[in-house]
Structure 1
């Protein structure tokens, strides 16, 4: 409102100035015309022919260089010169005076024309009253003095109401968000039907709450599943240790200790997987370098000893460069091979190739086994954490249902995808990664 008031004040002053300037130009136009006519008569030595003032001129007075009045209209009869005598030079000048002889109630716009005559230099004064100008100024000033505050008050009221209505939805959003706690993430903020920035803000807030709720649910499920998975090996380990403590036969101790070590190894693997998932969820940055994906796959295959089913890796394309972390990419390959080993009947095959695309090449890594395969309805569920399609069999082989989840999260961390796709026999897991620039 301060800005509006300042703009209104400047506009008012500008309006008054323009109005007065225009009225002054109109007032002095006729006076200047008559002053030039009288000056021409004086130059010709024929002042006797001077006529009464024309319309728009109130008086005429002709004064010589000594200040003597040579000719004047009746309303200035016997009046001295309206201006003190000064050195005269030919030309035209404009003045605004209050002339007491004429009453002085209103200003006079006086046109002064000095010219050379046979009797010497004379000055012609022609004046016109600024009565109408002063009246217009007074009327306009009074109108602005009354209308300005009314307009300012109207703008203030409208601005207050419009701003209040515009901010009401924002206040509703703020109040709702202020009441949402970690136990009320199912609540959503109201979305106004205005389809403006405030509505988009509410939609964005609700989308953020959706993600927070999903993250909270996932965290709670993860904690519950992790607690369940840790409870089983800890319970078995405690039982084995209690049995070993109760058994007095030394010949049974190696078997009991061996079982305890297996459970400890399972606990270590589970703790390692949980820590890796926590790092992935926290989006902790890892060193990314340019790698040959074929070398990473080949190294992961060659490092495996004692696999139940031999792994065939004869079809690996060379020179497939990707950007990523060697340890994490090797973990992806290892987890896929571990999954294939659990279910393969007699064949595990790894294939690496590249495909072109409109936005650059793509590296495609396939791990195929000849096991029972994955039903179409479960091809997404197998990537959920702690998910096992055959729970008993997975436990026998030591799986916790985290391998494929970790592999997908690590692949996504590298900007790729991991999917279970159709296969003539067994399971076919496909990793797609963007090829590094120039690779």
Structure 2
């Protein structure tokens, strides 16, 4: 059995063509063995919880198989979030009915268009319906927004829980396929560096890394914890495809065979299959590294909290290049290289709209390697937060070079910290302090 799940603002009708291609290529996939999911994604009251519950009800009422690893699923765009949410809410890794999961341009860690979709243009073009005009699916777009707590927490459930390994041999054999070019014509207004016109290549990949950096105990000597994802998913960047073409089987003659391969991979060969796709992605990335739109980018999601577990919402992340081999001081910054890094390497920053403690930074790893890593230059990442305790009764000490220590990255550490076509989640904890006169005791008069 094969189930196909569409993305935001789409419908099952869009995937009849792909279903036909798959049936033609594989006679075993008959009309009786394919189901196209349809769900409402553009009503403002609908939440992801609503979708996963409705999907579960529809799955049962349609009589789809529920035995472990009895169904293959293809998802497009937002459909990846819906299916991941559903399977982790209603099943355990050992009871999950999905065997193979093929993600076409998935929005696993969001899309830069999610906030655009909430604008007037998005409401008119995407959301006009006769009975409910100008709706875009507010709650769905909140989860699709870059740096959303929803996508962060979903990753904690299915990518970082060592007690529940969801992906890999004997679990879900998941393949992520994503294009590297944007739209043409009028829709090209949506294009941005490192994207397929809708999702970024880096936010599609489902092999993230989690880092926790604790500056709260000793701000000058933070404690780091690096957590690798559990299990493995396959990932491939595809030349010549954008967010729309990949859902139709692709314009690249290699795309449809790649989809069919993903539907045929098995437990015994999955690790080798992942390695082969990783090598192919690396080769394509090198061949595309002269064009800033197809260079290798990393989606870097920051969540800043204090030692009271409260969100820190007013802060700035900066990247510096020290003149020497140590962390920079006021007089020890390579101004020219720092300017280039802030313009050409750290190319975009997005503040999550409902919780500003979450930020998504887009790093151009190709440019970083050429500017710093390959020539032996260090990189410093610093955080500055408000309110400043010196000016308020409570706040943070981050403004001085001797306050919160930065993260000094050697070239070797840069190679580990920055990887093309992936997401890294970084939780930073800083110390909240109180002025001595905030609370005092005195003797009676």
Please tell me the TM-score bracket, short chain as reference.
under 0.3
Structure-2-length-normalised TM-score: 0.19
**Which structure dedicates a bigger proportion of its chain to helix?**
1
Determine which structure has more spread, i.e. the larger CA radius of gyration.
1
**Which structure dedicates a bigger proportion of its chain to strand?**
2
Structure-1-length-normalised TM-score: 0.20
